[in-house]
Structures are given as structure tokens and as C-alpha cells.
Homo-oligomer: A and B are copies of this chain.
Amino acid sequence: MYTSQTLLLIFAFISAAVTSTYGYSALQDARIIAQFRRDQELNHAKIARQLVHQANWASVGSISTNAIVENYPMVNIISVDDNDASGKSTGKIHFLLTDLDFTGPDWQRNNKVTFLFTDEQTLNCKNNNKDPMEPTCARIMISGQVRKISTSAADYKNALATFEKRHPAAINWMKAHHFYLCELDIQNIFVLDFYGGPHNVKSADYYSVQL
């Protein structure tokens, strides 16, 4: 979120403030800096959660099994939902796949996928005069594994119901075309929300955010 130069300035400012108020304390400085770093990480996690929650779809990359573009990265549009029964964000990314589409066969051969979410999906960047590729137009790349949710799992019915509430078209998808409900098992989250390069957010920090 900040360049290392900016971070140094902020740390210097915090140190100066602490020095003038309480006198110099290396231990206190270290604690404040650790807290500052932690807050920054939580901000990135929060941005990730917000981008996921506001999105109805993601651009999903997989390694293609289609004979025409075999081993190319394929990118598909996949409808997503992270709501609980009351519409609150859980961070859990649910989606429906079918083996008749691109992503379905791909993940079953090579279970490595990446979900891209960008603030431009809702035109937030355009409406704030930000180019979609500017680092200030927040984006996240969540990589991980597709996990098919068993129809006998405890959370299956609720998860499907909340998905269909958000995506009523899915009621028809489930009637035919062999769609199945999945969740993304998160391995890595990259967050770009400002200049200075991407940030890694741990999935534990991502899930612990309260929106």
C-alpha cells in the first residue's frame, strides 16, 4: 500500500510522537510498529473481502484441457456468492460449475485456479476517473483449489439457497446441465490497492474480517 520510503516516514512520525509524549521506548516503538503493520495487513484483507462481497462474478483462470488451446491459461466468467443466509459476507466463495463449460473439465485435471476481482466490475474506478489498470483501482487475485461440495454436506442446502437467491438464473441451471456447487479453498491472496506492488494476505486474516 505504501512505498518503503513512505513507511519509513510514517514510522519516524510515530516514533517522534511516542518520544515526545512518553519518552523514548524501543519496546513501545516496536509494539506500535507491529500494530501499524498488522492494521495495514487487515486493511488489505478488508479490501479483499469487500471486492469479493460486492462482486456477482469473477474472472476465473484455469489450465485449459480444451484440445484447441490445450495448456493455455483459460479465463472464464463465473458467477459467485459469499453471502450467508441473511445476506452478510462470509468471505467463502461459492460458485456453480458444469463439465459442459470450460472451467469444469479444467480443474478436474489440474486443480489450480485463480479468481480475479476488480473494483472496475462495478464501474467504481471509471466513475472515479481511475484507469482500470491503475494500482489505485483495487484488484485481488485469489488462487487455490476448487472443492466440490457434497450434496449431503451439512451446509449444502443453505449455501445453494443463498447462491440461488443472489443468482435466480441458477435455479434453471440446477435443473439441467449437471451443475454442481463448489467452494474455493484459498491458497494465496494478492491484493493491489495502491502504488508499491502487491500484498500477500493470509486466508486466516481474510476470513477474520468483519464487514
Residues of A within 8 A of B (CB): 56-57, 59-64, 68-69, 71-79, 96, 100, 102, 112-116, 118, 120-121, 123, 126, 130-134, 137, 139, 141, 143, 167-170, 187-188, 190, 197-198, 200
Contact = CB atoms under 8 A, between A and B. Distances in A.
A164 to B, nearest CB: 11
A118 B188 CA distance: 26
A202 to B, nearest CB: 12
Contacts of A137: 77
B141 A76 contact: yes
Contacts of A169: 130-131, 133-134
Copies in the complex: 2
7 contacts: A72-B113, A73-B113, A75-B141, A96-B133, A102-B190, A102-B198, A133-B169
Contact of A132 (B57, B68, B139, B168): B57
B133 A71 contact: no
Contacts of A74: 61, 73, 114, 141, 143
Nearest to A71: B112
Contacts of A120: 57, 77, 121
Contacts of A96: 133
B73 A61 contact: yes
Given A61-B61, A68-B188, A75 B116 contact: yes
Contacts of A190: 102
A120 B169 CA distance: 15
Contacts of A168: 131
A133 B77 contact: yes
B77 A114 contact: no
A118 B169 CA distance: 17
